[in-house]
Structure 1
Amino acid sequence: MRIRGVPVHLSARDKGGNMASIKRAALVAGLVALALVPGAAAQAVAAPSAQDTSFLQAAHQGNMAEIAKGNLTQQKNASQQVKDLGSRFLSDHTRLDQSLTQTASKLKVTLPGSATSEQQSALTKLQGIDGEEFDRMFVETNMNWHEQMMKLIDTEMAQGVDPDAKKVAKDAAPVVKAHHEALQGLAQSMGLPAGGGSASPGASGHAQTPSPEESSESAEPEESEESEESEEPDSENPEPERS
């Protein structure tokens, strides 16, 4: 070693101390590397569950459909109540979808580029109508859609794995519930069923249970026929005359 051109000879003790320092530094660096590698590997391998992925994709499609429907209310000759509700849906679902999209990007979940075929079909029908007919279909379809979204959220909260995906569901839950309650109030004011949907009777595939009046009415003719049949043998076979 030289200090300002003057050769300096290190003793064996100094050389040993320098070597020990180098070894300690190498050991620390190795331990840090070992600690970091497993964590990085875990992050690379970890992926959202099928439930988390399905929820994010379906909720995104629901948001897109509600945003499109909210825009339609502003273009149509709808009632002021429907316009106000549509504007609220547009704002809320846009905000919810921005958060959802960020979470999906973080989890590397590919989101669909459009609403479902069923949602697109309903939107197409809404585009072709106006006035009271538009108001009625807007309320009826939205009742169904929000009920489906509430079930979607409940399933994610119960079966989801990733905390970020579950947070999306948790944040959306009170908003969707409030929308559904607003739709119920509007449906009642319009004289529509507050239970949601305009599905025809028996559309769900379950047989309808007749009311008590219908059951008793349908049963009366059978009872009278049976009584008539039971009386017929008496008239056809009179008692023999006594001698």
Structure 2
Amino acid sequence: MRTRLISLAALVVAVSAISAAPSVAATVSDQDAMFVKSAHQGNLAEIAAGQDAQKHATTKCVKTVGAVLVRDHGKLDADLKMLADKLNVMLPASPTEEQRRELAAVQAKAGTSEYDAAWLKTQDAAHTKTLSMIDHELKAGKNAEVMAAARAARPVVAMHLDMVRGGTCHAGKDARMVRAGSGGHLAAADGALATAELVSMAGGGLLAAGGAAWFWRTRRRSAEHR
């Protein structure tokens, strides 16, 4: 009987330890890692393009859209870098060579009316490509946190695309869904993940508490029958 009680006590301790242990992130697949890296480079490219538009665009509309890109992609990238660090994904230090060439081609028209048209056309193509990349991650991704980041970024990128679609400027499409420092959609995604973790911890805690109660009831009954 004593051996049985010791075994039950060990079980309760083991269950408690499991419930208290932090959740371990799922393995990051090649697809997930590639998405994180590409999304980071896309954010860097959009921030650079937005800053350039604020300096060289000739219309207020394009300058405004440029500011929106800096605001939103800055926030998205800050969260993405934290996720990459958590998942041990090494991020590139700069946009791709193609992205740098595209910006240079637009910059060559700085100070002219052609700049605005070229900038809008380039951003239309860039955000269309990014949206396709996000949709692919949502279909082929494996890591829940990476997919949550992609899901959170999608409406932001779609909003940006609406602002430059067809090479026409629509600054009024800014729904201000992501504000620097507020967390925006990513905050909602993080909240959902945090809620899931709390539920998991609570479930583990209840299991441990139930095991402890069962252990003490069994011990009490054994004592009464002696």
**Conserved 8 A contact 2:62-2:169:** no
How far apart are the structure 1 equivalents of 2:142 and 2:159?
A: 26
Structure 1 residues 121 and 186: CA distance shift in structure 2, 3 A: closer
Larger deviation, residues 180-189 vs 158-167: 180-189
Query: Is 1:178 aligned to 2:159, yes or no?
Result: yes
- Bigger relative contact order, structure 1 or 2, given CA contacts below 8 A and separation 6+? 2
Match of 1:220 in 2: none
Match of 2:124 in 1: 143
More helix by share: 2
Structure 2 residue matching 1:43: 3-state secondary structure: coil
Map 1:205-224 onto structure 2 (within 5 A).
Answer: none
How far apart are the structure 1 equivalents of 2:6 and 2:159?
A: 60
How far apart are the structure 2 equivalents of 1:185 and 1:84?
A: 17
Shift of residue 30 of structure 1? Answer: 7.8
Map 1:1-243 onto structure 2 (within 5 A).
Answer: 28=9, 32=13, 36=17, 43=24, 46-130=26-110, 131-184=112-165, 187=168
- Identity, % of aligned pairs? 34
How far apart are the structure 1 equivalents of 2:141 and 2:108?
A: 39
Pick the structure with greater CA Rg.
1
How far apart are the structure 2 equivalents of 1:186 and 1:147?
A: 12
Could you tell me which runs of 5 or more consecutive residues in structure 2 were left unpaired when the two chains were aligned. Answer: 171-226
How far apart are the structure 2 equivalents of 1:145 and 1:55?
A: 15
Query: Given residue 92 of structure 2, which amino acid in structure 1 is its aligned partner?
Result: P
Structure 1 residues 134 and 188: CA distance shift in structure 2, 3 A: closer
Query: How many residue pairs were aligned?
Result: 169
Structure 1 residue matching 2:24: 3-state secondary structure: helix
How far apart are the structure 2 equivalents of 1:32 and 1:102?
A: 34
Could you tell me which runs of 5 or more consecutive residues in structure 1 were left unpaired when the two chains were aligned. Answer: 1-19, 190-243
Q: Over residues 13-54 of structure 1, what are the superposed CA-to-partner deviations in whole Å (9 max), with x where a residue is unaligned?
A: xxxxxxx99x967984587458858x97x938x421111111
How far apart are the structure 2 equivalents of 1:90 and 1:121?
A: 19
